[in-house]
Amino acid sequence: MDMLNIGEAAKASGVSAKMIRHYEAIGLLPHAQRSNGNYRIYGPQEVHNLRFIHRARSLGFPLGTIRELLALWRNRQRSSAQVKKLALAHVAALEAKILEMQEMAAALKHLARNCHGDGRPDCPILDGLADPFAEKGKARNGSPA
């Protein structure tokens, strides 16, 4: 693979040119080499790193964790236990987010079931959104809804 400009590296890695610049700016990637015309150029290793980042982002890893994963990936003396610990922590975070989203969906379904959806102006959905106790499943007086 020859050296690629940023557009070619973006296409080869699946990471947009804008995000490549961002990853360089925040230090996730080292700054790219420059051509004689001062254009960014990328070799096979840089594209490989970008693909790694792209895959990690597609799995929802936050940038801080990706930074740790990149360091572990580059360190051949690493222990796989370190990598597994990061992966399982991310799984736990994803499962917590899934549970939270399921609870949100259930709350919205409940509000929608109680809405007549007709021409009347009263709307349990809007009332539920305006009620600070609704999210905890409690009536205004604090008793269960």
Section 85-109 average pLDDT: 97
User: Within this chain, do residues 14 and 50 fall inside the same structural domain, yes or no?
Assistant: yes
Average confidence (pLDDT) over 16-42: 95
Residues with Cβ within 8 Å of 67's Cβ and at least 6 positions away in sequence, in order, are 28
How far apart are alpha carbons 122 and 130 in whole angstroms?
13
CATH number at residue 69: 1.10.1660.10
pLDDT beyond 90 at 117: no
- Residue of 25, 77, 26, 70 whose CA lies nearest to 51: 70
Mean per-residue pLDDT, 92-116: 95
Mean local confidence (pLDDT), 118-136: 83
- Give me the number of domains the chain comprises: 2
DSSP string, the chain: ---EEHHHHHHHHT--HHHHHHHHHTTSSPPPEE-TTS-EEE-HHHHHHHHHHHHHHHTT--HHHHHHHHHHHH-TT--HHHHHHHHHHHHHHHHHHHHHHHHHHHHHHHHHHT---SS-S--HHHHHHH-TTGGGTB-TTSSB-
Residue 8 and residue 68 in one domain: yes
- The answer to whether residues 23 and 69 belong to one domain is yes
Give yes or no: residues 22 and 42 share one domain. yes
4-5 and 33-34 beta bridge pairing = unpaired
Of 143 and 26, the structure prediction assigns the larger pLDDT to 26
The residue range of the domain holding 125 is 90-136
* Dist. CA 118–CA 141, nearest whole Å: 29
State which amino acid sits at residue 128.
G
Q: 11 and 72: one domain?
A: yes
**Residue 46 and residue 9 in one domain:** yes
The pLDDT-based confidence of 145 (bands split at 50, 70, 90) is: very low
